[in-house]
Amino acid sequence: MTKWLWALGLSAALHAGAAPEFTLTDSAGAIHTGAEWQKASAVVLYFITTDCPVSNSYVPEMNRIARDYESRGVRFYGVIADTDTALGAVRKHVQDFGYTFPVLLDPRQTLVKLTGAGVTPEAALLTHGGEMKYLGRIDNRVESFSVHRQQATQHELRDALDAVLAGKQPAKAAAPAVGCTINRLSP
């Protein structure tokens, strides 16, 4: 729980209303910056890796959530959390799994550090100014490494999105994510 409190404290320290500054390339070679966020009603970052089976199993749900919320002004990005995955491997992964949103390469872990993400898959919901509203699991389909459900019974990310889009604080600011640990760069 300390990790989530740290991440929420970090987001509170960000400039109020100003999007975070970063420049990252996606798997197709397009450049993305924090300025893109200014026109969004919210931003969702999905932290992923090419080789995490839990993360890979969530791609269809990530795509469904993006499809359901993009028309409401929410921007979605996948963020490769590994610092050394080759571009060719990322491109193949994006194609093989059919991501419907840009997948960013984050070799310096800029967005990992911004949010405090610790595992893949993990979702961060931010305002267009970079204020953290939610960090954690997408839903409870994978409750733990030994508890997997056919269908989720709790939908934390969707619930958080609905709250933020309604101008409210999410009921949960964090929920423990289950997946592959993000190997952090040394500070």
Q: What is the pLDDT of residues 138-164, one digit of tens each?
A: 999 987 777 778 888 889 999 999 999
Distance CA(162)–CA(168), nearest Å, equals 9
Distance CA 174, CA 27 (A): 28
pLDDT of residue 149: 82
Q: Which residue has the tokens 């890979």?
A: 56
pLDDT in tens, 108-120: 999 999 999 999 9
Could you give the CA distance from residue 159 to residue 179 in angstroms, rounded to a whole number?
A: 21
| Grouped pLDDT means (10 residues each) for the chain, 187 residues | 38 53 95 94 97 96 98 98 94 98 96 95 95 96 79 93 97 94 83
Q: 98 near 130, Cβ under 8 Å?
A: no
pLDDT of residue 152: 86
Q: Hey, what domains does the chain have and what are their CATH numbers? A: 2-181 (3.40.30.10)
For residue 65, give the H/E element and its range. Answer: helix 59-69
Q: What percent of the chain is helix, strand and coil (3-state, nearest 5)?
A: 35, 25, 40
Cα–Cα distance for residue pair 44/158, rounded to 1 Å: 11
Which H or E run includes 90?
Answer: helix 87-97
